[in-house]
Structure 1
């Protein structure tokens, strides 16, 4: 590390307060310097030494800022990221990257022209269960993956007055949680051949989708991505079947709940998952099952990697190409749901992952 990087955040809503600010402060070599907010008292209550600017433009004009983080409503990602890049800043954009594939590609072009780092905050690559599943698949114990099922189920029966749950571009559960699930499966299976998406607004008063079910095809293998806001008893987070065995894991990674409760990294035991995964493997006609302690989750690793990439010490942890691949499937999924059809992916989309 050659210097401390000054970091600024646009806005101080849920994502900034819960995720980005605590993670940035917990990473050596990053200094949370300024936040743009219309409510300076709210910022100062948590971070008394951080400067507060009234507008994003004021924030971007600060010459000392190296990195700008944009965890704002989805439809503002594109214009704010363009402004930050034009001001010569490196940029982290919260997921989903943008609300359209065209916007994502435009940002990639402008970041390249400005020679600035552009990264997407797909933090759930550093979930405990996902890291564990990646490791198990890499050992070959499951054999050829034939069924990959990933659920993000919650019980939130009341529609809340927030932009994610109102009608509009980039709102709804598919763009909110589907972005996480797509990014994870792209890292393991790569780009699918087709996608079929079904969407529904199931809660009373729902103004946008709060249930999704996507089926992705990989030859004769299938991937199911599912999310809902009305699941009192969630299904397993992961159910993965291969030619040699199966992997299942209940429960969500604990890091979000820790951050919501005010626990900040690097607290002792950070990211340790109290729930185990189950691995069942057939050998010589006998099925042997064992419980696996999950690898500790590590959201700060994302920002550590961003720091290193800006300093020329490592790769961008989530590239614009990878964000574009996610956007391509989010957008194609919407087209599938509207048409009620199975749609093929485009050869022009980036092909992350191993497929």
Structure 2
């Protein structure tokens, strides 16, 4: 089996939790090492890897096929561009870039260089979202009239990660949790006609937005996307209403929590939610009212990496394309403009 030799640009939480375990699990990838500016930690977890002293040392290494740009958002464009120019395939964490223009430039460069460029929108492979998509794919609700997605937390204290709390083009909840919600909405419903957004600061001493409410306008329905850090008692994270019925689902995916405590993913029972988290389907089919819990599909971020492997080795489409990333950035730019002007922005 062809090996895709891969380097991370950071071995913090993102590299340690979301990338390295799945690169290790997938036999088609080989984690060669990570750029580590000060602490050299990767070899403690993966003894066969190496710590690179600089970005240039990774880009000059002919052994590296794939570079994962998992650094702060405002570095994504610069690092991804340098990696593409060095002839490497690139996987970029969300948010893809800080502007639409940057996203389009990266997409154009990847196409010119005949390289793969993908965005790590791993939440498409969450158990809860996969179940929501399955309900829609089976047309269990009829014509959709409205949907509301939440990514809420109770986190009143400022983050210890300075870059997250310092005003920049890549900071704030719209750039942090917003891309997850936006990508999921676009994946299910396509690109909207217009957007309205309200973003604000709610935490004491915060200087970056930590609340956002985005309304996407489609011809026959609306989709609301909300993220807040002051939700102690969470409501269902996915609420979808159609002309035949409704589906409500809590955010129940267990992968992130399991990875954070050091559990290793597998291909059998990984990402299996508790039955207590099952979503509620209340609809009508064939003249019969259905009011029951729906079994949750299994989540597994391995699916993303498997599709990425196939994309690189067989020249198929990336699991999340650069165009997907561009579209998400178009919504974010529209939301920023809407929040500033307090009006609906046509897209």
Name which of structure 1's ranges 107-116 and 162-171 shifts more when overlaid on structure 2.
162-171
Distance in 1 (CA, whole Å) between partners of 2:249 and 2:123 is 15
Question: Which position in structure 2 is the counterpart of 1:318?
Answer: 320
Question: Which position in structure 2 is the counterpart of 1:75?
Answer: 74
Question: Which position in structure 1 is the counterpart of 2:11?
Answer: 12
1:219 is displaced (CA, Å) by 1.8
Q: How many residues align?
A: 344
Distance in 1 (CA, whole Å) between partners of 2:249 and 2:119 is 26
1:264 is displaced (CA, Å) by 1.7
1:268 is displaced (CA, Å) by 5.1
Question: Which position in structure 2 is the counterpart of 1:181?
Answer: 181
Question: Which position in structure 2 is the counterpart of 1:331?
Answer: 333
* TM-score of the pair, normalised by structure 2: 0.96
Question: Which position in structure 2 is the counterpart of 1:102?
Answer: 101
How large is the RMSD of aligned CA atoms in angstroms? Answer: 1.3
Deviations 1:114-134 (A, max 9, x none): 110000000001111111111
SS at match of 2:239: strand
Deviations 1:23-75 (A, max 9, x none): 21121210001211123532222222111111011011110111110000001
Name which of structure 1's ranges 197-206 and 244-253 shifts more when overlaid on structure 2.
244-253
Distance in 1 (CA, whole Å) between partners of 2:86 and 2:39 is 23
Question: Which position in structure 1 is the counterpart of 2:53?
Answer: 54
Question: Which position in structure 2 is the counterpart of 1:144?
Answer: 143
1:170 is displaced (CA, Å) by 1.2
Question: Which position in structure 2 is the counterpart of 1:276?
Answer: 278
Distance in 2 (CA, whole Å) between partners of 1:144 and 1:28 is 42
SS at match of 1:148: strand
Distance in 2 (CA, whole Å) between partners of 1:181 and 1:198 is 15
Deviations 1:70-117 (A, max 9, x none): 000001000100111111100000011100100000001111111100
Distance in 1 (CA, whole Å) between partners of 2:107 and 2:157 is 37
Contact 1:40–1:52 (Cα < 8 Å) also in 2: no
Name which of structure 1's ranges 99-108 and 157-166 shifts more when overlaid on structure 2.
157-166
Q: Which runs of 5+ in 2 are unaligned?
A: none
SS at match of 1:149: strand
Deviations 1:263-309 (A, max 9, x none): 12117521111110111112476532111111101111111111111
Contact 2:17–2:260 (Cα < 8 Å) also in 1: yes
Contact 2:33–2:42 (Cα < 8 Å) also in 1: no
Query: What pairs up with 1:237-316 in 2 under 5 angstroms?
Result: 237-266=237-266, 269-274=269-274, 275-283=277-285, 287-312=289-314, 314-316=316-318
Contact 2:238–2:251 (Cα < 8 Å) also in 1: no
SS at match of 2:155: coil
Q: Which runs of 5+ in 1 are unaligned?
A: 346-355
Name which of structure 1's ranges 285-294 and 122-131 shifts more when overlaid on structure 2.
285-294
Contact 1:196–1:343 (Cα < 8 Å) also in 2: yes
Name which of structure 1's ranges 43-52 and 279-288 shifts more when overlaid on structure 2.
279-288
Contact 1:70–1:92 (Cα < 8 Å) also in 2: yes
Distance in 2 (CA, whole Å) between partners of 1:37 and 1:260 is 20
Contact 1:280–1:288 (Cα < 8 Å) also in 2: yes
1:314 is displaced (CA, Å) by 3.6
Contact 1:155–1:229 (Cα < 8 Å) also in 2: yes
Contact 1:165–1:208 (Cα < 8 Å) also in 2: yes
Question: Which position in structure 2 is the counterpart of 1:348?
Answer: none
1:313 is displaced (CA, Å) by 6.0
The list of structure 1 runs, each at least 4 consecutive aligned residues, that deviate by more than 4 angstroms after superposition, is 283-286
Contact 1:237–1:252 (Cα < 8 Å) also in 2: no
Distance in 1 (CA, whole Å) between partners of 2:4 and 2:287 is 56
Contact 2:147–2:223 (Cα < 8 Å) also in 1: yes
Q: Does 1:207 align with 2:181?
A: no
Question: Which position in structure 2 is the counterpart of 1:93?
Answer: 92
Query: What pairs up with 1:147-186 in 2 under 5 angstroms?
Result: 147-162=146-161, 163-186=163-186
